[in-house]
């Protein structure tokens, strides 16, 4: 107990108060930040439409979800207008073959709707009645506005600058220069080039300070905090000396205080000339003690190329196996 108090007293002067996170441990989930960099926060107390930005939601949505949403919206809209054409009477749509039954009438109205919504207009089926013409006019306007929005979203998603970084699945605590150090690896997964790359690492420690549960944040200085360019990979190293908030902690201690490493990487895309950012985090169960990362960089057979094997980014072995 005395050692724990001494440890806390030693760190008290280095507490960060400007992280933007709450210091109330009891109100926080299992982790503050997700591995993909998004914050593990859900806001309540206001209507749904006031808590969410449709633009930000659509831009941040995973690609497969965005594609499914686009196809689902397209199918649903055509189905709605097909029902409206069907209810107003398919007799107002000239060119429809009425000999095959009601289901065939509906399907022909559906495909007419698809042609109208996309302004293709093959002309085989066309509106002849007043209500059908009104519906076709409304649907044409809806199609123009809809495709304008989706075209803009697709372009924004495609052109949005991203860091395209990948991080090791685990952070490790490894032997380092006669002591110990916290390490994790990162690399660029695409053929983009990042220059002037910087890192900021913070550890969140959840503990009972006697007066109640609290979350404290401390900087984790790294041996190298800035590199000129991220060409191969970068093993980020935080030396665990007596100035480190992780000094003297073992795996069970990290789990007990629910330690979480919050990481932010900034860099300049040298082709787009914009600053990009990516975040991630490691919780206590994702930190492996007494391990070493395995090499992931080699030379090609002809000796002309440097090979960066991203499949080995997370590879490590326990120190006892070395």
Q: What is the pLDDT of residues 151-205, one digit of tens each?
A: 999 999 988 888 999 999 999 999 999 899 999 999 999 888 899 999 999 999 8
C-beta neighbour count of 78 within 10 angstroms = 22
Report yes or no: 246 and 7 within 8 Å, Cβ to Cβ: no
Task: Please report the pLDDT score of residue 271 as a whole number.
Answer: 86
Q: Quote the CA–CA distance of 277 and 262 in Å, as a whole number.
A: 14
Length of the chain measured in residues: 322
Radius of gyration of the chain (CA): 29
The residues of the chain scoring below 50 in pLDDT are 1-4, 321-322
Model-level pTM? 0.78
Task: Please report the pLDDT score of residue 207 as a whole number.
Answer: 74
Task: Please report the pLDDT score of residue 322 as a whole number.
Answer: 42
φ and ψ at residue 123, rounded to 5 degrees: 95, -10
Tell me the CB-side half-sphere exposure of residue 278, using CA atoms within 13 A.
18
Architecture of 2-41+162-321 per CATH?
A: Sandwich (2.60)
Task: Please report the pLDDT score of residue 2 as a whole number.
Answer: 47
φ and ψ at residue 52, rounded to 5 degrees: -125, 140
Ordered by start, the domain boundaries in the chain are: 2-41+162-321, 56-159
Q: Residues near 165 by Cβ (< 8 Å), separated by ≥ 6?
A: 186, 187, 188, 189, 265, 278
CATH node for 56-159: 1.10.287.70
Q: Is 247 left (phi over 0), alpha (psi -120 to 50) or beta?
A: beta
Task: Please report the pLDDT score of residue 113 as a whole number.
Answer: 92
């Amino acid at each position: 107990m005395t050692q724990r108090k001494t440890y806390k007293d030693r760190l008290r002067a280095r507490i960060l108060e400007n992280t933007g996170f709450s210091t109330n441990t009891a109100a926080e989930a299992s982790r503050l930040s997700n591995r993909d960099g998004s914050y593990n926060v859900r806001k309540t107390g206001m209507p749904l439409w006031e808590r969410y930005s449709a633009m930000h939601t659509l831009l941040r949505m995973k690609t497969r979800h965005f594609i499914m949403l686009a196809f689902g919206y397209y199918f649903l809209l055509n189905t709605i207008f097909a029902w409206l054409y069907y209810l107003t009477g398919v007799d107002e749509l000239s060119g429809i073959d009425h000999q095959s039954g009601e289901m065939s009438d509906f399907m022909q109205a559906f495909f007419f709707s698809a042609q109208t919504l996309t302004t293709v207009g093959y002309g085989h089926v066309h509106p002849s009645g007043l209500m059908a013409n009104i519906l076709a006019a409304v649907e044409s306007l809806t199609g123009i506005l809809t495709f304008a929005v989706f075209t803009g979203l697709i372009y924004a998603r495609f052109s949005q600058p991203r860091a395209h970084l990948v991080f090791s699945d685990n952070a490790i605590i490894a032997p380092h220069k006669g002591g110990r150090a916290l390490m994790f690896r990162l690399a660029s997964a695409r053929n983009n080039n990042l220059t002037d790359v910087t890192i900021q690492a913070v550890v969140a420690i959840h503990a009972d300070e006697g007066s109640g549960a609290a979350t404290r944040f401390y900087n984790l200085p790294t041996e190298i905090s800035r590199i000129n360019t991220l060409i191969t990979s970068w093993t980020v190293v935080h030396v665990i000396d007596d100035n480190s908030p992780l000094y003297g902690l073992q795996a069970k201690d990290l789990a007990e205080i629910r330690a979480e490493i919050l990481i932010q990487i900034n860099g300049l895309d040298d082709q787009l000339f914009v600053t990009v950012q990516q975040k991630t985090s490691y919780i206590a169960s994702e930190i492996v003690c007494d391990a070493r990362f395995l090499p992931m960089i080699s030379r090609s057979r002809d000796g002309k190329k440097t090979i960066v094997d991203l499949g080995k980014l997370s590879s490590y072995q326990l120190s006892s196996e070395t």
